[in-house]
Structure 1
Amino acid sequence: MHSVLAIVCYIFVSTVSANSIRDRIRQLENEGHDLSHIEQANLRRVISQNSDMDSYMNENVYGNNETMSSDNNHGNETPSRCKSCAIREEQKKHRIEGIKKKISHALNLDLTNMPDATGVKLPKVPSFLRLMERYERESNSPYRQYQDYEDEEDEFGQPERTYTFARQPPDNLFIEDPNASFFSIPNMVGKTPYKAYLWIYIKPSDAISPNITEINLYALHPPEVQGDPPIRRRLQSKRRHFDNLVGWHHFNVISEVQRWSANPRNNHGVVIEALDLNGNNLVVLPPTVGIDEEYIPMLGIRTTLRVTRRSKRSAVALLCDDTTQYEACCRYPLMVDFVEFGWDFVIAPNTYQAYYCAGECQSENLDATDHAIIVNQHTSLPGTNPGPCCTPTRMSALSMLYWDVDQSVQYTRLPNMKVERCGCA
């Protein structure tokens, strides 16, 4: 009789214990804890032995650096979500540092030797102002549903336009003409200039001829005897009536720029003259101070770009924001602020949305690319690192306007600067 009673009691206690364990497991799961990777036998053993569940959960679910807390302490955030947020913050930092290195490498910038552009006045040349207006209009347009994406492109930025400003000729050229100006031509290796315009500004004067004023442009060629002054040769001439004289004028100088780029030693500058009735030059020339700085002669050069493979399509991707609690691979916003970098040499944009990728990847979520397939095959081998990574699978370019080390303005297209789509690879 005693033995039967003992068996009944044992069955009753075991049933109650099993139900209590199941209730405890269900409670933990309802609190948002992921127990899928912990064996049920271990969970039952810990609960039945009244072990320290907090320590066990910290060690086996969240890692030693995480502590289990209830919804009362962290609102609706669970520890696993807090951990994913911390991981994303770390990935943000890596992405920003990567962007700094990529831009400085792509533009061949020595960040310790960049010009101090604080307070520098931008030119009021019409073509330059049109470029700035177009840049701002395109950057702020809400209707950009389609973009150009790069599947494969050079790692270096490709200059599309260069704006270089007149300066006084170097002393070693022995140029004494007061109306001479010199333009520093950027390195054109691997590039071909196909358009070049010289913009000059005629300032108002009480001594302007009431009839016609002639604007003359001369090229200075190297002298036949070293040490002699350069040879002046007329390039172009414009005749303007009094009513149309004051303001901006431009000359097509592509042949001269091509000659300079082919052999920089040919570059001895130019002479620009538009004389009033007293013989004074009406052209704003260097050195300039005050308001004249905005009207200094400017040489605008356009260069050819390497042809690249592009596909024009709408990016289809999983898009998240900082409030999203999503574990899978996803694209998150990341605003890059060049002002915060201390990069005052960047004219535009001041900020841009770079985005970054974060999240978990399983082998079954791999993108169907050759790289992803190879990675999957490699990681399945013994002794290799497990699993694919959440990484950009589609990127687009960023156009940038900036001052270079020669204090010329460059308009450059930088490839692979914006993440458009993320995937597992």
Structure 2
Amino acid sequence: MYGELNGVRVCDPRLRHSWRVNDILHFPFTESITKFHVANATLNFFIRGVSRPQNDVIIEIYKVYKIGDHSEPPVMVKLHSWKEPQPGSRGKWIQTDFTETVGEWFKNPKDNYGFVINATVNGKKVAVTDVSAEKSKAPFVETSVTEPKKRKRRNSGLNCDEKANEPLCCRYSFIVDFVEIGLDFIIAPKRYDAHMCSGECPYVTLQKYPHTHLLKMSQPNTAAPCCAPRKMSSISMLYFDAAMNVVVGSLPGMVVDRCGCS
């Protein structure tokens, strides 16, 4: 039995007495992260397998719209529903797009009552949702965010790509992959462009960096000017701490915004 809520099919909560508040998963987002825009969000969860798979896994994702009192179950709306082949004995990680839901939570944090993962085979639940029992297989949301649009400032540094034949000091793209370097506790971003500085700093750039070159002229024995970061910014990160809690933090000095000779 289903009803309608703004064109979305809503399951009558009276038919779901098996779903309790304990079934609800909740990822709170702090103000330090909700000030950004959600570019992409992916829900990751683990489903158990069997040695001889025969049936499909029926997966349903519900968003909680209201937490009822002790006499009433929560009100939920179905977001996604699909089937997956039952995995082998090792189990399998499942991913589904969660961008719209996380985006709504960012805009209205007070409406973030959580969600429910219902994955069953012949009525038996196979999704790992008990965070305390199996922390390494706990569900998580991988979220990529972007800065709110701001007025662009003039950047006096050069920006180049790998195809550019530019000998002078310039900023280039430099992709860092956290998984490749062993930092797999970081949920998001998995990779990002840190940028790097490379190039020469000849005396013809005196007009652009007068202090650097006047210093070299007055103290000839000092090291020659080198291409280095002149301005850097932070990135926001989503990661697991030692207690397997999802933490949002800002790490300074992670992105080169401008290069120059110093």
Normalising by structure 2, we get a TM-score of: 0.54
> Which protein is richer in helix relative to its size?
1
Matches of 1:407 and 1:236, distance apart in 2: 24
Deviation track 1:199-244 (CA, whole Å, cap 9, x = no partner) reads: 1111124797x33331111001134889965311111011123358
Matches of 1:256 and 1:410, distance apart in 2: 21
Instruction: Tell whether 2:159 aligns with 1:311.
Output: yes
Instruction: Tell whether 2:246 aligns with 1:407.
Output: yes
Is contact 1:197–1:251 with CA below 8 Å preserved after alignment? yes
Could you say which residue in structure 2 is the equivalent of 1:369?
208
Distance verdict in 2 for CA 1:288–1:226, change over 3 Å: closer
Distance verdict in 2 for CA 1:415–1:371, change over 3 Å: farther
Distance verdict in 2 for CA 1:198–1:411, change over 3 Å: farther
Instruction: Tell whether 2:104 aligns with 1:256.
Output: no
Distance verdict in 2 for CA 1:301–1:370, change over 3 Å: same
Does the residue aligned with 1:250 lie in a helix, a strand or coil?
Answer: strand
What are the equivalent positions in structure 2 for 1:228-377 lying under 5 Å apart?
A: 229-242=73-86, 246-277=91-122, 279-289=123-133, 292-305=134-147, 309=155, 311-312=159-160, 316=168, 367-369=206-208, 372=211
- Correspondent of 1:197 among 19, 42, 45: 42
Matches of 1:232 and 1:346, distance apart in 2: 30
What are the equivalent positions in structure 2 for 1:12-411 lying under 5 Å apart?
A: 176-187=20-31, 188-205=33-50, 210-223=54-67, 229-242=73-86, 246-277=91-122, 279-289=123-133, 292-305=134-147, 309=155, 311-312=159-160, 316=168, 367-369=206-208, 372=211, 394-395=228-229, 403=239, 407-408=246-247
Is contact 1:366–1:372 with CA below 8 Å preserved after alignment? no
Matches of 1:266 and 1:285, distance apart in 2: 21
Aligned-residue identity in percent: 15
How far does residue 415 in structure 1 lie from its aligned partner after superposition? 2.9
Matches of 2:139 and 2:255, distance apart in 1: 31
How far does residue 285 in structure 1 lie from its aligned partner after superposition? 1.3
Matches of 1:242 and 1:372, distance apart in 2: 67
In the alignment, residue 368 of structure 1 is paired with which amino acid?
Q
Q: List alignment gaps of at least 5 residues for structure 2.
A: 1-18, 170-184, 198-202
Could you say which residue in structure 2 is the equivalent of 1:121?
none
Is contact 1:218–1:233 with CA below 8 Å preserved after alignment? yes
How far does residue 298 in structure 1 lie from its aligned partner after superposition? 1.6
Deviation track 1:322-364 (CA, whole Å, cap 9, x = no partner) reads: xxxxxxxxxxxxxxxxxxxxxxx98999xx9x99xxxxxxxx9
Distance verdict in 2 for CA 1:180–1:189, change over 3 Å: closer
Matches of 1:233 and 1:394, distance apart in 2: 52
How far does residue 176 in structure 1 lie from its aligned partner after superposition? 3.7
How far does residue 259 in structure 1 lie from its aligned partner after superposition? 0.9
Matches of 2:65 and 2:52, distance apart in 1: 32
Normalising by structure 1, we get a TM-score of: 0.36
Could you say which residue in structure 1 is the equivalent of 2:177?
none
Could you say which residue in structure 2 is the equivalent of 1:103?
none
Distance verdict in 2 for CA 1:416–1:226, change over 3 Å: farther
Is contact 2:59–2:81 with CA below 8 Å preserved after alignment? yes
Distance verdict in 2 for CA 1:404–1:398, change over 3 Å: farther
Matches of 1:402 and 1:213, distance apart in 2: 29
State the Cα RMSD in Å: 5.0
How far does residue 179 in structure 1 lie from its aligned partner after superposition? 2.7
Matches of 1:346 and 1:194, distance apart in 2: 18
Is contact 1:181–1:286 with CA below 8 Å preserved after alignment? no
Does the residue aligned with 1:259 lie in a helix, a strand or coil?
Answer: helix
In the alignment, residue 140 of structure 2 is paired with which amino acid?
M
How far does residue 369 in structure 1 lie from its aligned partner after superposition? 2.2
Q: List alignment gaps of at least 5 residues for structure 1.
A: 1-174, 318-344, 356-363, 380-385
How far does residue 398 in structure 1 lie from its aligned partner after superposition? 8.7
> Which protein is richer in strand relative to its size?
2
Is contact 1:218–1:270 with CA below 8 Å preserved after alignment? yes
Matches of 1:194 and 1:392, distance apart in 2: 36
How far does residue 284 in structure 1 lie from its aligned partner after superposition? 1.1
Q: Look at both structures and tell me which one has the larger radius of gyration over its CA atoms.
A: 1
